[in-house]
Amino acid sequence: MPEVQWKTISLTGFGVYREGVEVQLEEGLNVLVAPNEAGKSTLVAGLRAVLFGLANVSADANLNTGKNSFSNVRFRSWQGADAFYGEVTFTVDGRLYRIKRQFDTHEVTVSSLKNGEWEDTDYIHNPQAHKDSGRYLEELQKLIGITGGEALTDTFYVEQPLPQGDELSEHVQTLLSGSGGHFLKALEELEAKLSRLTRRLKNYGFKRDKNKDRQLEELEKQIESLQNRIETGKTVAAELQATLLARTQLEEELDGVKKKLAVKKQLQEAWKEGRQRYERYLELLNDQKELRGSQAQLQALEGEIAGLRRELNRDFELFLTAPEELPEELDQLIKLEQELDTLNHQIRKMEGELETKLDLLEKIKPDLEQLQAFSRNPHLLADFREYQKLDEEYRQLCIDVEKLKETAADCQRRLKLLPDWHRLGEDPLGELKELRAASFRISRFWRQLENFREELSQIRVKLAGEYACFGELTADQEEALADYSVLKLKMETDYREKERVHRESREKLELLGRMKETRQKSASTKSLIAAGSLALAGAVIGLWAGEFSGLSLGLVLGAVLGWVAGKFLFRNNELQGAAGEEKSLLDKLPELETAFREARERLEEFHRKLAEQEAVFGDSLPQAYADFRKLLSRQRELEEEKERLTREEFLVDSFELPKEQWPDFWRRLRDLGELWGQEFHHLTEIIQWILSLDDTWWQAALNSCSEWEQLCKKLEDINAKGLNIPEHYEEQLAGLKEQVAPYRLDTPLSQVEEDALNYQQLREENRGIKELIDQLETQLTEAKAQRTDLAKRQASLKTTHAVYLSLGQGDSQTTKKLWQSFQEKQEALHRLEDNRKVLLRGIQVADSEELAEKVIDLDNRVNYSLSRLEELTEKYPGLPSFAQNRDHRKLEQEYRELEEEVRALELREEKLKEEERELGLKQATLEGQEPINLAQAELELAELEAEKKQLEFEAEAIGIAYQGLSEAINKYNASYRERLAQQATRYFQRLTGSDRTIEFEDNFSVKVTEEGKKRQVIQFSQGTRDQLFLAMRLAIGDLLAEEIKLPFILDDPFLNYDSRRLEELRSLLRQMAEERQIFLLSHREELAAWGIPVTMTKE
């Protein structure tokens, strides 16, 4: 299982890094802390871009479509950099590799370090290319086990915001299931084969259909088209034969309708002519009837005119020569007679009325004398009423004064039983209501104050108890506790790092010592061998030169030279290098021991400084100190709030004020309590008394105060009215007694009112009678003078018209009636003569002789018209006899029936013509269609259906193979899901501290089981969902690490983690960093101490 570790990432012209940037990573947990928008995510994107490339898209296309977000347009520096490339160095199982990429040209160089030199291999890799040799991706697969950027970021890159869904991405599923290899290719091969046969893939177990038709659908269309053509050929032949037969029958029916229509139209024309002649005949008959009527009317008028003229000459001869003014003067004479009669009647009536009024005047005189008191005092009735009213008031006033005295005594008695509410001021009831409202407010704030005191007491108990260790902290202790977790982690990390470096240095020094000893032994052995060899060679040479002496000398000299040669010739360079390294370590070791000792002392001093607090709270010390600070803050808030309530709501600085310093408000409450028999020496006594009062007490107090005010008001009203009777009452009563005499106080008012009314009526009646007598005497004198004048005028008119009055025996009325009769007969004569003239003018003749001739001519014209009607009826037997049938409505009904028959025949003719045209068109269409060979078509259809069955058989076989292979792949994937769920559950339980388990469905959708029930991911809080996603990512990395172990990159994904979750995560990451590299990027300063600091070096 190869392990990959990123060493350096270098980018130029990439995103915010116009001039270039480089970061160096170490083994373990690397932490890069930088503010937002500083380019942390861009750095990770650069790593992906170097490994897998950027897509080339135009700026317009990228902006308009929103696609290809991982492209050169997005990541090319907008500041116009000269270069656009990146470089990544990494190790695979300790061997160093390097990848360089030019993002514009897609030139890639993969290098490996061998013997201190880079060996380069160049590639061209365009992620958008349709055709690619695949050599670079094959090399990348060997090195890091992944060939796609999405697979890297979906698996080993965790960022914020975390996904909201509950499914793993397609790339992760591919990596987990292993289906990125031949399994998927096999399924795709089967799908491609079936896609060449048909587009309906779902029918054979595939997920989705294709859009365009394939061989099977095209063949089905050919079969359907051929079947339609065969059916159309059969249908055309049958329809053509039926059309020819229907057209022949239609033509025969059309000829019959045309003949019948011609007969009916001829009869209709004759009927129209007969109607015209008949209407003319009727007009002549009507004219004949009217002319004969006019002739009879003229004869009657001429007879009446002659009779009236004879009557006037016989009965009214005198009136024929009478003057024109006769009618008017007759009317005047009649009017004078009527006026004289009326005037005589009025005179007699007035004389009788005058005598009656004089008698009545004498009768009422004694009654007036009896009521002369009202004449002496016109206001007697009003005075009597005032006299009685004043007397009644006087008596009632006496009674009221006695009652007021009794009421005043009762009020005084009741006031003695009530508290003296006057102590509360001018408006005691209003003051009491204000005190009641204030007491309610005081009760509420006092209870609030008591709650503050109770809470303060509890806080003091806690501060003196479990938090007593924080009681007297020094400044150093407070500083250490304020940042306890960070300082502790920093010191522990520093101590462990110094301890590790010191331990490794000592171990390495011991190793170098052992190496030195081993190499020294090896060098000694080699020197001895060299010395022996040279000694032997010297002996041989000495023996050859000087026999035995030469042998001795050569032996000694050879041994010496061999030792010297061994000493210098076999000196090990490696031994010299090891000695130098050993010396260097020995020089550094004191410094490392000092640093290690100082780190340990700092950590021990830190724990010694907080020993008491750590002994009490252990690992929860940071939270305990935070709680302690909260308690202190809350204590200050409560003290301030208590002082504010005392000062603002209770209006005092202390409840221990002496009585003489009590504010006005509290003195008013004291007065209220004293009214009810209370005695107060301290403000708290008033408050306790107020707390003891309920609504019933306050209502009783309000009622008592209200009653007190009412009694005081009543006493004031009584005193204002006074308790003595005024003296003017007796003086007024004496004066009124004289004015109403002879009436006395005991006289009923009704009698006085009746006498006053009688006196008024009698006085008015007396005055009215006197006025009426004067009027009657004046009217009587005038009437008698008028009567004399009218009699003179009457005598004059009778003398002037005596001749005409003789016709009526001297009576003007009778003469007037005779004149009116004469006038009426003359007017009747004039009307008859006018009617005769109108009649002659209406018939356009001058006299009766001309009218007789006109009647004879009209009779002849009527007979001629009748003869023409009879001739037309004889000519057309279908016509009715107009001369004999005088029922005009019946004739009209018969004519309308004939019109309906003609209209129906015309419509039938049009319909038959239209049907004949349609049949003609249909015949032409059927005869114009291309004929088909039905036998040949049936054979061709059988061949197509056989070919269709063969294709369907092949498709069924492919579908069975696909389903079998898919089932095998699913079983293979299931094993990965189970392992992934187990590993993710272990991480999730550790992060959350719960016993929840994770399960993956067939499509890798996530379910969480808690207390035996499955829950959706969305049901958990955002922080828990973030933990779940992180657990799945870590589990995926573990499973993939069975083949290749890639570093994890965490880009600020812990925004929703609280302090407890962060502490668990920190512990987990530190444990994971012992087995694989982790690169954490964040903007949070407190995470800097989690691991090895990483800095960005900008060029």
Confidence of residue 726 (pLDDT cuts 50, 70, 90): low
Residue 449, both tokens: 């104050």
Distances from the Cα of 325 to the Cα of 318, 560, 665, 800, 814, angstroms:
15, 209, 118, 12, 18
Instruction: Give yes or no: residues 8 and 137 share one domain.
Output: yes
- Of 291, 289, 298, 4, nearest in space to 152 by CA: 4
Of 881, 909, 925, the position where a domain reaches its end is 925
Indicate if 788 and 881 belong to the same structural domain. no
Parallel, antiparallel, or unpaired: how do β-strands 95-102 and 107-114 relate? antiparallel
pLDDT band at 917 (very low <50, low <70, confident <90, very high): confident
> How far from each other are the two terminal CA atoms of the chain, in whole angstroms?
37
Whether omega before 161 lies within 30 degrees of 0, making that bond cis, reads yes
Q: Which two tokens stand for residue 559?
A: 């041994």
pLDDT at 130 over 90: no
Segment 200-228 shows an average pLDDT of 86
Band (pLDDT 50/70/90 cuts) for residue 570 is very low
The reply to whether omega before 428 is within 30° of 0 (cis) is: no
What are phi and psi for residue 322, nearest 5 degrees? -70, 150
Burial class of residue 324 (count of CB atoms within 10 Å of its CB; 0-12, 13-18, 19+): exposed
**Cα atoms in the 13 Å half-sphere on the side-chain side of 1016:** 4
Pair 116, 11 in one domain: yes
Lowest mean pLDDT among 379-393, 442-456, 1078-1092: 379-393
Laid out side by side, the sheet with 95-102 consists of: 117-124, 107-114, 95-102, 85-92, 4-12, 21-24, 1096-1098
N residues, the chain: 1099
Region label for 522, one of left (φ > 0), alpha (ψ between -120 and 50) or beta (otherwise): alpha
Q: Are residues 850 and 821 in the same domain?
A: no
| 782 and 910 within one domain | no
Query: Distance of CA 161 to CAs 32, 38, 984, Å?
Result: 18, 17, 20
pLDDT at 471: 81
Q: For 382-414, what is the HEC assignment?
A: HHHHHHHHHHHHHHHHHHHHHHHHHHHHHHHHH
Same domain, 832 and 854: no
Report pLDDT digits (tens) over 79-113: 777 889 999 999 998 899 999 999 888 999 999 99
Q: What is the pTM of this model?
A: 0.36
Whether the predicted pLDDT of 167 surpasses 80: no
Least confident of 182-186, 193-197, 225-229: 182-186
What Å distances lie between residue 773 and 8, 212, 533, 787, 872, CA to CA?
A: 150, 134, 204, 21, 103
What confidence tens digit (pLDDT) does each residue in 468-481 have?
Answer: 888 888 888 888 88
* Secondary-structure breakdown of the chain: helix, strand, coil percentages, each rounded to the nearest 5: 75, 10, 20
> Are both 806 and 899 inside the same structural domain?
no
Q: Name the pLDDT band for 335 (thresholds 50, 70, 90).
A: confident
Q: What is the mean pLDDT of residues 516-539?
A: 57
The answer to whether 383 touches 740, Cβ cutoff 8 Å, is yes
386 assigned to some structural domain: no
pLDDT confidence of 727, banded at 50, 70, 90?
A: low
Which residues make Cβ contacts (< 8 Å) with residue 271, sequence separation at least 6?
879, 895, 898
Q: Round to whole Å and give the CA distance between 617 and 740.
A: 116
Quick one: tokens of 742? 């002879």
Q: What is the mean pLDDT of residues 347-362?
A: 84
- Taking residues 565-579, what's their average pLDDT? 51
Contact 496, 603 (CB under 8 A): no
Distance CA 618, CA 603 (A): 16
Instruction: State the pLDDT at residue 1074.
Output: 86
Alpha-carbon distance of 565 to 527, in angstroms, equals 7
The answer to whether the beta carbons of residues 130 and 147 sit under 8 Å apart is: no
What confidence tier does 522 reach under pLDDT thresholds 50, 70, 90?
low
> Could you read off the pLDDT of 974-1022 as tens digits, one per residue?
666 777 888 888 888 877 878 888 887 766 678 888 877 888 878 788 7
Condensed to tens digits (0 to 9), the pLDDT of residues 665-704 reads 888 888 888 888 888 888 888 888 988 888 899 998 899 8
Domain boundary among 844, 869, 887: 844
Contact 519, 574 (CB under 8 A): yes
Residue 970 within any structural domain of the chain: no
- Number of domains comprising the chain: 4
196, part of any domain: no
Among residues 785, 812, 844, the one where a domain terminates is 844
10 occurs within a structural domain? yes
Residue 71, in any domain of the structure: yes
Q: Is the pLDDT of residue 1077 over 90?
A: yes
Give the alpha-carbon dihedral of 802, 806, 811, 816, to 10 degrees: -90
Indicate if 364 and 284 belong to the same structural domain. no
Instruction: State whether 821 and 887 are in the same domain.
Output: no
What is the mean pLDDT of the segment spanning 925-929?
72
Owner of token pair 């114009």: 928
Whether 820 is covered by a domain: the verdict is yes
Residue at 296 is within a domain:
yes
The confidence band for 547, taking pLDDT boundaries of 50, 70 and 90, is very low
What gap in Å lies between CA 1061 and CA 1065, rounded to an integer?
6
Q: What is the layout of strands, in order, in the sheet containing 997-1000? A: 997-1000, 1006-1010, 1013-1015
The domain containing residue 529 runs over which residues?
Answer: 475-609
CA distances from 847 to 25, 298, 840, 874 (A): 149, 9, 7, 43
What is the pLDDT averaged over residues 948-975? Answer: 74
Helix axes 215-315, 182-197, angle to 10 degrees: 50
Asked whether the predicted pLDDT for residue 48 surpasses 90, the reply is yes
Residue 448 above 90 pLDDT?
Answer: no
Q: Is position 576 within any domain?
A: yes
Find the range with the poorest average confidence among 59-63, 147-151, 357-361, 705-709.
59-63
d(CA 395, CA 264): 124
Q: Are 1011 and 1018 contacting, i.e. CB atoms less than 8 angstroms apart?
A: no
Per-residue pLDDT at 572: 47
pLDDT of residue 121: 92
Same domain for 840 and 853? Answer: no
Mean of pLDDT over the chain: 80
Sign of the dihedral defined by the CA atoms of residues 304, 305, 311, 314, in that order = negative
Examine the domain organization and report whether 793 and 804 are in the same domain.
Answer: yes
Report how far residue 824's alpha carbon sits from residue 316's, in angstroms, rounded to the nearest whole number: 12
Check: CB of residue 162 under 8 Å from CB of residue 1057.
Answer: no
Q: Does residue 584 sit in the same domain as residue 563?
A: yes
Neighbours of 971 (CB within 10 A): 9
Give DSSP secondary structure letters for 207-257: S---SS--HHHHHHHHHHHHHHHHHHHHHHHHHHHHHHHHHHHHHHHHHHH
Q: CA torsion 504→508→514→519, rounded to 10°?
A: 160
